[in-house]
Each structure stands twice: as C-alpha cells, then as structure tokens.
C-alpha cells in the first residue's frame, strides 16, 4: 500500500476544541488497496475532530461515487456512497482496537493515520449485492445482451430434486 500523508492528522499541538478537515478520496487511494473492489471513484470526506484532554472523537462524513462491477452483467456502473461513522481515540499504554468504534493510542503518539479506517468505512458502504440500479420504471439497466443470455441459461436448467415440490404446487 502506498503512503498518502494527506490522510494523517497530527493532533499533538491541537487545542482542546473541535477541528474540521476535508479530504478528497480519489483513484490513487483506491488503487493502493488491491482487495477493494472499486475501479475508480471520487469521494468527499469531511472529518470533525473533537479533542479533549484524554480522548478524541472523530466523526467521518462520506459523500461521493465509485465505479463497481455489476454482479449480474459484469459491466461497470456508478454507485453512490454516503455514510457517517464515528471513531473514538483514547490514550493508553499501547495501540489497541477495543471495538469497531474505539481504539487506543500510546500517550507518546502525535498523529492518527486515517487510511485504514477510510478503507474499512468505504467497504461498509459498498452494497453486498452490486447491480445496476433500476430505471424510473423499475426495469433493470444491466446490459440487455447479458440479461438475455442469463434468461436463456436459466430456462434450460432442470433440477430433478424440485420435481416432487412442483407436483404439490410449490414453486
């Protein structure tokens, strides 16, 4: 993974109040993670960091679009991504991920690297079933040729295990 220094927040000299950061997540970020299923994209990220004496609260606000492969027709399509996440950072003796929302950093640490959390949050916003959205009439916008091929394939599949259920009227 390539380093992107822009996604690291130095908090050592910040005053005890709220601070705001804006980031642009683009193709370079997506390319640096080989297991992220995003082909390209542009996502705006704003982070509100509230620094207190013994902890920090980071609120992430994502808004943008990414290009994904459709699970049905294999063509690329554009997917909206919007979401809000919270990360609480407490100070302790060592780094530890206590829960999904809580981590501890060593007292001597002076910055927090957001890259891994951004990667995880983007993964959470990507739908499990990735298909082209339907049009305003409820029709699929997938590639028509591929849908026809899938339809023909599904017509020819005959599974004898279901024959008994078909006889009693269950489909």
Which pLDDT score, from 0 to 100, does residue 156 have? 55
Label residue 70 left, alpha or beta by phi (over 0 means left) and psi (-120 to 50 means alpha): beta
Residues 1-15: pLDDT tens digits? 334 558 989 888 888
Q: What is the mean pLDDT of residues 132-148?
A: 76
Residues of the chain by 3-state class (helix, strand, coil), percent to 5? 25, 40, 40
What is the residue-averaged pLDDT of the chain? 85
Which pLDDT score, from 0 to 100, does residue 38 have? 87
Can you name the residues that pair with 105 across neighbouring β-strands?
A: 91
Can you name the residues that pair with 40 across neighbouring β-strands?
A: 67
Higher-confidence position of 158 and 41? 41
Task: With cut-offs at 50, 70 and 90, classify the pLDDT of residue 96.
Answer: confident
DSSP class per residue in 90-118: EEESS-EE-SSSEEEEETT--EEE-HHHH
Which pLDDT score, from 0 to 100, does residue 36 have? 79
**Domain boundaries in the chain?**
5-133
Answer yes or no: are the C-beta atoms of 77 and 132 closer than 8 Å: yes
Which pLDDT score, from 0 to 100, does residue 18 have? 93
Residues 103-127: pLDDT tens digits? 998 888 888 999 999 999 999 999 9
In the sheet that holds 102-106, the strands lie side by side as 18-25, 40-51, 55-69, 76-92, 102-106, 96-97
Burial of 94 (0-12, 13-18, 19+ CB in 10 A): exposed
Tokens representing residue 144 in the block: 């028509």
């Amino acid at each position: 993974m390539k380093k992107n220094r822009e996604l690291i927040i130095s908090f050592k000299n910040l005053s005890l109040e709220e601070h705001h950061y804006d980031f642009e997540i683009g193709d370079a970020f997506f390319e640096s993670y080989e297991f992220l299923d995003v082909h390209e994209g542009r996502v705006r990220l704003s982070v509100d960091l509230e620094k207190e004496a013994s902890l920090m609260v980071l609120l992430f606000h994502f808004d943008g679009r990414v290009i994904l492969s459709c699970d049905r027709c294999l063509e690329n399509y554009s997917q909206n991504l919007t979401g809000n996440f919270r990360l609480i950072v407490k100070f302790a003796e060592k780094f530890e991920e206590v829960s999904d929302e809580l981590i501890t950093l060593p007292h001597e640490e002076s910055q927090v690297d957001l890259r891994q959390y951004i990667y995880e949050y983007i993964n959470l916003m990507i739908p499990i079933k990735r298909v082209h959205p339907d049009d305003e009439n409820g029709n699929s916008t997938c590639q028509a040729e591929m849908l026809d091929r899938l339809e023909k394939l599904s017509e020819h599949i005959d599974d004898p295990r279901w024959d008994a259920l078909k006889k009693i009227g269950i489909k």
